[in-house]
Amino acid sequence: MVFKPQTFHEVPPQVEIDEPTDASLEADVAGALGRAGLVDATRVGVTTKGGIVILVGHVGSQAEIETAGEVAGRVEGVSRVDNRLRIQAAAV
| Residues 16-37 pLDDT 10s | 666 678 899 999 999 999 898 8
Ordered by where they begin, the domains of the chain are 22-87 (3.30.1340.30)
pTM of the model: 0.74
Is residue 54 very low, low, confident or very high in pLDDT (cuts 50, 70, 90)?
very high
Q: What is the C-alpha to C-alpha distance for residues 61 and 85, in angstroms, rounded to an integer?
A: 10
Q: What is the C-alpha to C-alpha distance for residues 78 and 65, in angstroms, rounded to an integer?
A: 17
Is residue 3 very low, low, confident or very high in pLDDT (cuts 50, 70, 90)?
low
Q: What is the C-alpha to C-alpha distance for residues 37 and 21, in angstroms, rounded to an integer?
A: 25
Is residue 88 very low, low, confident or very high in pLDDT (cuts 50, 70, 90)?
confident
Does 13 score more than 70 pLDDT? no
